[in-house]
Structure 1
Amino acid sequence: MALRVTFVAAARSSPRLAERFEDDRPLDQAGWEEVQRAVGDLLPLAAAELRYCSPTPRSRTTGDALGYAPLVQLALRDCDMGRWRGLTLGEAMAREPELVDTWLSDPGATPHGGESLHAFITRVGGWLDTRPVEDGCRIVAVAEPSVIRAALVYVLKAPPSTYWNIDVRPLSTTTVTGRAGHWNLRFDAASAQPSPAWERA
């Protein structure tokens, strides 16, 4: 029996360089405009039997704006960044450069006092592995880009360092199929619609 899980990356709440660890800000104006442009392409995913989202305001709002009425899943929360919560990477680097280097190079490290990258990937993968199994069941989950990156590392059974080489854009979709412990990354046909402005930038 196989599941089909499509992750939708939440619309943005800030410009990319201003992104903060565990950002709990609502969608900004650009994010709202992106959602409105994407509704036509992403609304069909509302037909999924199960619809979930990360607990962040922007994930919940993105899901509601797309017509999913998603159920919040705490297991899909962002990585716990401890005392770096609310900081940008640049701000954390300015305060504790050596500890940031350790965090970036060691997936088991928790220099911020929060959750390690390895534990984050394992948590998100555990959520994926515990989805109800019904053959052909479709699931949609609106999540933070970081959560989707963690899910992909888990699905591909890749080294945790692969996390840093995955780029997930706002409102992009990523589909995996399979069941607990046996997942495949699926590439669907490209949409005939032109790329939105944020993707062309």
Structure 2
Amino acid sequence: MHVRVTLVAAARSSPLLAERFGDDRPLDLPGWNEVQRVAHTLVHLSAAELRYCSPTPRSRATGDALNLAPLAQLALRDCDMGRWRGLTLGEAMAREPQAVDVWLADPYSAPHGGESLVAFIQRVGGWLDTRPVDDGARIVAVAEPAVVRAALVYALKAPPSTYWNIDVRPLSMATLTGRAGRWNLRLDFQPMRV
């Protein structure tokens, strides 16, 4: 018995360098336009039996724009960044350069007072492992790019440091097939029609 979970990275809510930890902003105009341009290529996602999203406004808006009517899941929220919430990486670095260095180097650390990278990966993996296994069931989840990265690290049983080497762009997709403790990554390369 296996399940298929398609993870969709939410459309953007700000330019990359302006992204903030724990960003609760809705989609910006370029993000909204991006969803509208590709929505027709993602219509097949609405066939999923279960549809989820992280509780952020941009994930919800992305899911709604794709006609998924997703159910928000707290376990799919972004990493808790403690006192760095609302800051850009540059702002956190300017305030606490040594703490940022520790956080980037040690996946078990949480110098910001929030969640460590390892705890974040385990939380997202726990959600993944508790999906109902109904042979061939299809699930779609729209979440922050960081959540998609965490899920991929967990599913592939990769070292936590791998998290920093996975680039997840807005509206990109990854499909995991399998069941708790045994996941496979499936990449589908299909030309996008714009």
Band the TM-score falls in, shorter-chain normalisation: over 0.9
Superposed CA offset, 1:132-165 (max 9, x none):
1100000000000000000000011000000000
Query: How many residues of Structure 1 are paired with residues of Structure 2 in the alignment?
Result: 194
Query: Percent identity at matched positions?
Result: 77
State the AA in 2 paired with 1:43.
V
Question: Hey, what does 1:198 align to over in structure 2?
Answer: none
Aligned counterparts, 1:180-195, within 5 A: 180-193=180-193
Normalised TM-score (structure 1): 0.95
| Compared CA separation, residues 192 and 143, structure 1 to 2 (3 A) | closer
Q: Does 1:84 align with 2:73?
A: no
- Any gaps of 5 or more consecutive residues in structure 1? 195-201
Counterparts of 1:119 and 1:189, CA distance in 2: 31
Q: CA RMSD in A?
A: 0.7
Question: Hey, what does 2:55 align to over in structure 1?
Answer: 55
Task: Give how far 1:44 is off.
Answer: 1.3
Counterparts of 1:156 and 1:135, CA distance in 2: 21
Question: Hey, what does 1:176 align to over in structure 2?
Answer: 176
Question: Hey, what does 1:150 align to over in structure 2?
Answer: 150
Superposed CA offset, 1:80-107 (max 9, x none):
0000000000000000000000000000
State the AA in 2 paired with 1:137.
A
SS at match of 1:139: strand
Question: Hey, what does 2:116 align to over in structure 1?
Answer: 116
- Any gaps of 5 or more consecutive residues in structure 2? none
Question: Hey, what does 1:26 align to over in structure 2?
Answer: 26
Counterparts of 2:102 and 2:16, CA distance in 1: 23
SS at match of 1:176: strand
Task: Give how far 1:43 is off.
Answer: 1.6
Normalised TM-score (structure 2): 0.99
Question: Hey, what does 2:38 align to over in structure 1?
Answer: 38
Task: Give how far 1:189 is off.
Answer: 3.2
Task: Give how far 1:190 is off.
Answer: 1.8
Structure 1 residue ranges, 4+ long, deviating more than 6 angstroms after superposition: none
